[in-house]
Structure 1
Amino acid sequence: MFFVDTLEIEGLGNRSYLAGGSSAAVVIDPPRDIDQVIAAAARRGVRIAFVAETHVHNDYVTGGLELARLTGARYLVPAGAHVSFARTTVADGDTVTVDEGLVLRAIATPGHTPHHTSYALTEGGRGVAAFTGGSLLIGTVGRPDLVEPRLTEQLARAQHASAHRLADELDNEVPVLPTHGFGSFCSSSQAEGDATTIGKERETNDALTLDADAFVARILAGLDDVPAYYAHMGPANAEGPAPVDLTPPRRADAEEVTSRLAAGEWVVDLRSRMAFAAGHVAGSFNFEGNGKLATYLAWMIPWGKPVTLLAETPGQIADAQRELARVGIDRPAAAATGEPSEWIRAGEQLAAFPRARFSDLADAGERGDEVVVLDVRRGSERADGHIDGSVHIPIHELHGRLGEVPDGTVWVHCAGGMRAAIAASLLDAAGRHVVAIDDGFDAAVKAGLTPTRTGRTD
């Protein structure tokens, strides 16, 4: 009897899979930190016989090469992928036997990348799972614009054809198990639900309900900004990632934290946005450890800039280190734990700034206070409604555009509070007076701030 275990990579919005039978298994699109994959196989009591990549990933560093090395598994990589390491190439129609009666078949599904390959798992000749990587997702498809801008429309059309091929070749009841679509920016849009089948996708997925021209027009109109760190992921994966080192970073005292800030390095406070606002090391930035840490820190930090982590406990440092390693930020320069008062030198004071709701912003307007409202959401979010007179700088652009924020007290908001906290920390570090709005954007309407809808702006 076969099994499929899902490994959630929540911070990046991806999934990996362990699938097998009574004695052997295959791993699909493993994360960089492969210890969790090995542990999952141990719980099942199976040998990892194969590691399979659906494509050269653009949003994270794979652990596939190292996992294959450690386990002795055959490393299956699409034949069209240009990589620099030894592997077993797979072409359309190739099969491998994972366990007795359990066969994995490669299906060429170009679109997310030119070489993208899905895998159909069959037991006794019956389809039991489709690992679709960045091809057919839940209610959407993987975005086609991550390889080369001139290929985007061509790859969008290939996505449409690939989705139809999967639907034509697989039975309605076959589960669709994608890698992307759960928060990853590799998805054209976010997944609608948590599970699906070929039959459900036939009824609901634009790639299967629209003709090619209509589908391409819709997908191209919906593409949003690409995280800057994606430019480094593909080359790292093609070269062959080094083994990850998750040993604890060196401990930094208050003097070292100060010197690293003075050197222009990034000092990142992983505590909650509430705790950070109440008191923090002046000049440090707030990226909550339980938010989308890897995505936004990797997106915003100058690539290769040393980063020092601050947190309440060593466990929080370890969790952050694991997540950052998945996107190629391999070793923090240093770390410190405890209370923020321990991270500053004697005689220095912690910095702080206020938090507020949209109702507080409305009250400030009624009083006639002169405020600057800064919207740090993406353009697609702003197009669905924004506050009249607000300044728009997406969070991932803010560090390089701080000089564009008008003078005055800055009330910064996003859709829910996390990105506003990041932005507030950047502005505070730059010496600006800031108020972080920690509120859902729907509350702006209730507060009488009359958000304006402008329509899609790209």
Structure 2
Amino acid sequence: MVEIVSFRTPGPGDQSYLLVHQGRGVLVDPQRDIDRFLRAAAERDVELRFVLETHLHNDYLSGAEQAARRTGAELVMPAAAAPAYRHTPAFHLEDIDGGNGLILRPLHTPGHTPEHTSYLVLVEDEPVAVFSGGSLLVASAGRTDLLGPERAPALARLQYGSLRRLAALPPQVGLYPTHGAGSFCAAGEVDRHTSTIGDELRSNPLLAVQDAGQAAAELLADPMPIPAFYQHMQPANTIGVPPMPPTTPPELTLDAAPADARVVDSRPRKAQADGFLPGSTGIEDGDDFGSWAGWLLPYQAPIVLVAEPGQDVTEPVVQLARIGVDTVLGVVRDLGPAATAGYELLDLDAFTARAARPGAQVLDVRMPSELKDARLPGAVERFLPDLVTEGVPAELDPGRPVLVACGSGRRAAIAATILADHGYTPAVLDGAGIPDLVAALRSSAGPGRG
């Protein structure tokens, strides 16, 4: 019998795994903050024998090399990955003997990346699980466009072949992908994180496709944006990732904060709305804090966090470190009279009333793929990161308030701090999104008028 412990990282939507078999452990696709994995192994009195990587990750820094160094485990990487540090190359169908009847069988499954390798787990010659990385996912498959549009079509066709290879495994084999819901490495979203081959044969729409060209077209349809920090992940994972930095930043006063630092306000959006430092970027602490900071700020820029008294900032620092941003200089907990910028937070009713007024300016900062769910006629549409790279849309009049909305209020609140820095007066739809606003405006218009 084997036990498979799952470690989910909600923000990027990724999972790492610890396989336990008769006191021996196999760690799969660990993120950089390896202490949580090593603690789980120690709690189970497990000797870590192998650390497996399915591919050179595009969305986070790997902790595989450091985990192997700390424990003496054997680091196994796809043969074609060729990282610049000591490892055992995994070749297609060349079994790795884990002892006590455990076999790890590499399966070359290119598509998400060219070197991508899945690992089939056999116990006493019976296949029981497959770690599929960014190949076959629950109800989906890994993206094939992360290495650029030129390579995407060829990788998409390769992904089709990899999906068929994995689908040919026995139906009872457990499916344990690295990417899933919330991940920008996934080509779709679903609430389940693990599955079986049989369940995927019954429910995964990509496994119903019988033609490589059609599968490639579906994989490449409606591409999601690629976060800006992704371009730095694979090179770092190839060269080698240093250990985690300290996760408790020093306390700073605002006067002591370096002038060249980027200020990131991690307080709840209500506190930000009441007053924030002009020029700062407000990103409320949450599961995706690191992703948005890595996307919106210059990579590895020095950062000063703003937090409330007593607010724990360990998690934001850890999230930044997972993407290689080790540049948090400290945390400021009292802005004093310097907090002169702000924005309004409006509930759905108040926002709807404002949006219904003639000449109201509404800015929708959702990603393009979300627009199919609901679209507000007359709204200006610009995805949140594009406010940084492309600027504020010229259609917006800085002399009038800008009503900002997304899907829940989180991204709209971030956008509000960007707009305020450009001289606009934002009001944020809080606790609701564009679909709710569209429905509310239709309802307020009355029968036959919406």
TM-score range, shorter chain: over 0.9
CA distance in structure 2 between the aligned counterparts of 1:327 and 1:77, rounded to whole angstroms? 20
Q: How far 1:177 sits from its partner (Å)? A: 0.3
Q: How far 1:365 sits from its partner (Å)? A: 4.4
Q: How far 1:400 sits from its partner (Å)? A: 3.0
Q: Residue 9 of structure 1 corresponds to which residue in structure 2? A: 9
CA distance in structure 2 between the aligned counterparts of 1:367 and 1:436, rounded to whole angstroms? 16
Counterpart AA for 1:398: L
Q: How far 1:320 sits from its partner (Å)? A: 0.8
Q: After superposition, where does 1:312-323 map in structure 2 within 5 Å?
A: 312=308, 316-323=312-319
Counterpart AA for 1:357: D
Q: How far 1:186 sits from its partner (Å)? A: 0.4
CA distance in structure 2 between the aligned counterparts of 1:2 and 1:367, rounded to whole angstroms? 62
Q: Residue 240 of structure 2 corresponds to which residue in structure 1? A: 240
CA distance in structure 1 between the aligned counterparts of 2:310 and 2:60, rounded to whole angstroms? 24
CA distance in structure 2 between the aligned counterparts of 1:2 and 1:130, rounded to whole angstroms? 12
Moved more, 298-307 or 189-198: 189-198
Structure 1 position 198 matched with structure 2 position 194: no
Q: Residue 85 of structure 1 corresponds to which residue in structure 2? A: 85
Structure 1 position 288 matched with structure 2 position 287: no
Counterpart AA for 2:341: A
Cα separation, partners in 2 of 1:164 and 1:316, compared to 1, 3 Å: same
Q: After superposition, where does 1:61-80 map in structure 2 within 5 Å?
A: 61-80=61-80
Q: Residue 230 of structure 1 corresponds to which residue in structure 2? A: 230
Q: Partner of 2:128: helix, strand, or coil?
A: strand
Structure 1: tracts of 5 or more residues without a match: 451-458
Cα separation, partners in 2 of 1:353 and 1:145, compared to 1, 3 Å: same
Q: Deviations over 1:51-80 (max 9, x none)?
A: 010000000000001111111111100011
Q: How far 1:317 sits from its partner (Å)? A: 1.2
Q: Deviations over 1:78-109 (max 9, x none)?
A: 01113211111111012223341111111111
Q: Residue 364 of structure 1 corresponds to which residue in structure 2? A: 354
Q: Residue 302 of structure 1 corresponds to which residue in structure 2? A: 298
CA RMSD, Structure 1 to Structure 2 (Å): 1.8
Cα separation, partners in 2 of 1:315 and 1:350, compared to 1, 3 Å: same
Cα separation, partners in 2 of 1:177 and 1:348, compared to 1, 3 Å: closer
TM-score scaled to structure 2, two decimals? Answer: 0.93
Q: Partner of 1:118: helix, strand, or coil?
A: strand
Give runs of ≥4 in structure 1 deviating > 6 Å. none
CA distance in structure 2 between the aligned counterparts of 1:398 and 1:366, rounded to whole angstroms? 24
Cα separation, partners in 2 of 1:254 and 1:381, compared to 1, 3 Å: same
CA distance in structure 1 between the aligned counterparts of 2:442 and 2:323, rounded to whole angstroms? 38
Q: How far 1:302 sits from its partner (Å)? A: 1.3
Cα separation, partners in 2 of 1:417 and 1:365, compared to 1, 3 Å: closer
Identity of aligned residues (%): 36
Q: How far 1:281 sits from its partner (Å)? A: 2.6
Structure 2: tracts of 5 or more residues without a match: 444-450
Counterpart AA for 1:285: T
Q: How far 1:351 sits from its partner (Å)? A: 3.1
Q: Residue 270 of structure 1 corresponds to which residue in structure 2? A: 266
Moved more, 401-410 or 178-187: 401-410
Counterpart AA for 2:439: K
Matching residue within 375, 387, 393 for 1:398? 387
CA distance in structure 2 between the aligned counterparts of 1:20 and 1:97, rounded to whole angstroms? 14
CA distance in structure 2 between the aligned counterparts of 1:215 and 1:400, rounded to whole angstroms? 32
CA distance in structure 2 between the aligned counterparts of 1:51 and 1:195, rounded to whole angstroms? 20
Q: Partner of 1:12: helix, strand, or coil?
A: coil
Structure 1 position 420 matched with structure 2 position 412: yes
Counterpart AA for 2:41: A
Q: Deviations over 1:308-344 (max 9, x none)?
A: 112235662111111111111113022123xxxx223
Counterpart AA for 2:284: E
Structure 1 position 214 matched with structure 2 position 214: yes
Structure 1 position 160 matched with structure 2 position 152: no
Number of corresponding residues: 438
Moved more, 241-250 or 121-130: 241-250
Structure 1 position 386 matched with structure 2 position 378: no
Counterpart AA for 1:205: N
Counterpart AA for 1:374: L
Q: Residue 455 of structure 1 corresponds to which residue in structure 2? A: none
TM-score scaled to structure 1, two decimals? Answer: 0.91
Q: Answer yes or no: is the 8 Å Cα contact 1:362–1:447 preserved in 2.
A: yes
